[in-house]
Structure 1
Amino acid sequence: MAHGEHKYQVSVQWTGNLGSGTSGYREYGRDHIVAAGSKPDIPGSSDAAFLGDARRWNPEDLLVASASACHQLWYLHLCSDAGIVVLSYRDNAEGTMLDSSEQGKFSQIVLRPHVVVQAGGDLERAAYLHHVAHEKCYIANSVNFPILCEPVIEADGV
């Protein structure tokens, strides 16, 4: 694993000028494009509650997805090292944001991974590795609110 400093560069380009810029709160679109190098663009907007396009990714979606994906990637790595064969992994993660007139902030993210491991695998160890993955997750270590994990582990064929 590479250690040291890693930098991530993205471009966020607002595409929501409807003709009069930000002349009024309801006079502009919240649409934007998130780009990073040669990766596919991500169509973004604000949450529909804030006049955004519900069909596009919003920053809150992306934050929850980042926490979920980071945990998943660490978990798969740890299982591989431990000789636990993961056959499928799906997380139905949920973030809670508190919105006030002064500021909004996330109060928590709950990860709910459902993991199927190969029959005969160590289910207790597979469950424990979620704790280790959480400790190692770069996103969980970077936010100022709790990220909880409520995994379901089962053996293939059970």
Structure 2
Amino acid sequence: MTRPHHYRVDVEWTGNRGSGTDGYRNYGRDHVIRIEGKPDIAGSSDPTFRGDASRHNPEDMLVAALSTCHMLSYLHMATVAGVVVTAYADAAEGTMQTEGDGGRFTEVVLRPTVTISAASDPAKAQAAHEAAHHACFIANSVNFPVRCEPRVVVSGE
């Protein structure tokens, strides 16, 4: 049975420097992302596109969404498989190709390093990544490849 889930996000552009968008260099890309009950996120565009490097940009957030979705799916799949995860860290990377005024992501590579207890089965820990990939809501929603290159470490090794 399918159930709809709805997510409300409010975005406000805060980059008007007094003359609006009367010129490409005359306005800021700054904005605030608000989600009720959560801290605001200060956003901008990537510095390549005249944004503020100290703020989150949509490209970073897309890669982060894919990484965290995989992690949360993985932790669930590992638990179901009887694998005890004691640490998880990912060094995810996304590649975006621009063309003219547009562009698109061509891939994201997840590189999680997962530490499991000595009593856990490394083969099951590795297999949980494949199950997590198929369960990840965000990876299932994008139109580019999301690859996973996991590394499993057994505690004490």
1:145 has 2:144 as partner: yes
Give distance in 2, aligned partners of 1:154 and 1:143. Answer: 29
Partner of 1:51: 50
Partner of 2:28: 29
Unaligned runs of 5+ in 1: none
Following superposition of structure 1 onto structure 2, how do residues 1-158 of structure 1 map, counting pairs within 5 Å? 4-158=3-157
Q: Percent identity?
A: 54
**Matched residue type, 2:9:** V
Pairs aligned (count): 157
Q: Please list the CA deviations of residues 52-84 of structure 1 after superposition, one character each: whole Å capped at 9, or x if unmatched.
A: 001110000000000001100000011111211
The root-mean-square deviation of aligned C-alpha atoms, in Å, is 1.1
Q: Please list the CA deviations of residues 74-116 of structure 1 after superposition, one character each: whole Å capped at 9, or x if unmatched.
A: 0001111121110010111000000011420000000000100
Contact 2:13-2:29 at 8 Å conserved across structures: yes
Shift of 1:37: 0.5
Give distance in 2, aligned partners of 1:146 and 1:64. Answer: 12
Shift of 1:143: 0.6
Give distance in 1, aligned partners of 2:101 and 2:17. Answer: 27
Give distance in 2, aligned partners of 1:85 and 1:39. Answer: 30
TM-score by length of 1: 0.97
